[in-house]
Amino acid sequence: MSNSNNKTLPISYREAANHVMGMPRALDLGAFGGTFNVNELRVWIQDPNFNGLMFWFCLEAVVNHVFVVVEPRFGKFYNTPDLHSYIPLANELIKPVQILPKNVNGTMLIEDWLKKGGLKVSGANTSIPNSEIVKWVDNFKTTYSSSDLNEFGFTYFINQHKGISYISNLINFKDVHYIRYAFAYDTSCKPNSLRLILFPVGVDGDNIEVQYLEEESGLLQYSWPPKTEEDPT
C-alpha cells in the first residue's frame, strides 16, 4: 500500500493488481471494468484550462453491472466544499465503448493481464444526456449505500501535479487508442474503498505495458477522494 497522500499519481502494477484482487466477493459489481476510446479525451486535454477527468459510478435499472462515465473538468469547477452536492456538469457525458467482463483475465494472473492481456475492441464511445447520468449515479449510491464503496458517486483524476501532466501523459502515451479502467478496492480509503485503475490500450485492444513513469513503474493511477486532503479544484 502506497503511503502517498498526493492526488493523481502512478502506482505499480503489483499494487494495482493487489487492489483489484481485494474486491470482496460480497460486493460483486458485475464487471471487471471498461474501455474508453480516447478521441474525446484527446480533444479535452488540448484546452489550456483542462484540469482533469471526473468519473461517475453508474448503475442502470436494466443492467446488472456497474460502470463509469466520464466528463472533463476545466479550471475551478465547484464553489462548495460539500462533496455530497457535486453533480455531473456536462450536457452529455461519455459512456465506455466496452464493458470488461468479470473473468476477462481468464487464466492469467491479474498483474500479467494488466501488463500484457487485452480484449478486442473497436468503435466509439456513446454520449449520454446529463439527466440520464444523474439517475444512474443516484441508483448506484442507493444500491451500495451501506457498502463503503463510494459515498459521493464520483472519483476524480487531476491532470497536473508538481509540474507533471499525468492524464495528458497517459492519453498521449505511445500508440494509445483506448484507455481502460479496472475496479479496485482499498480498505484504507473507506468510505470510498472503490478505486479506479487507469491503463493504456493499443488499437487492437491489447493492454500496453508501461516500463517507467516518473518514480514508479506502471501508468496506473490513484484518484480523489480520498488520496489527498486538498481540494482538487
Is position 231 within any domain?
Answer: no
pLDDT at 53 (0 to 100): 94
Is position 28 within any domain?
Answer: yes
Q: How far is CA 129 from the centre of its chain?
A: 20
Whether residue 96 has pLDDT greater than 70: yes
pLDDT tens for each residue of 161-175: 778 888 998 898 888
Q: Return all residues near 219 (Cβ < 8 A) that are at least 6 apart.
A: 10, 169, 170, 173, 198, 199, 200, 210, 213
The domain containing residue 201 runs over which residues?
A: 10-77+85-221
Is position 164 within any domain?
Answer: yes
Nearest Cα residue to 56 out of 124, 126, 156, 203: 156
pLDDT tens for each residue of 111-129: 999 999 999 999 999 999 9
pLDDT at 216 (0 to 100): 47
Is position 5 within any domain?
Answer: no
Is position 136 within any domain?
Answer: yes
pLDDT tens for each residue of 30-84: 999 999 999 999 999 999 999 999 999 999 988 889 999 999 999 876 667 788 8
Q: Which three cell numbers stand for residue 104?
A: 476477462
Q: 7 pairs with which residues across the strands? A: none
pLDDT at 165 (0 to 100): 87
Q: Which three cell numbers stand for residue 89?
A: 456538469
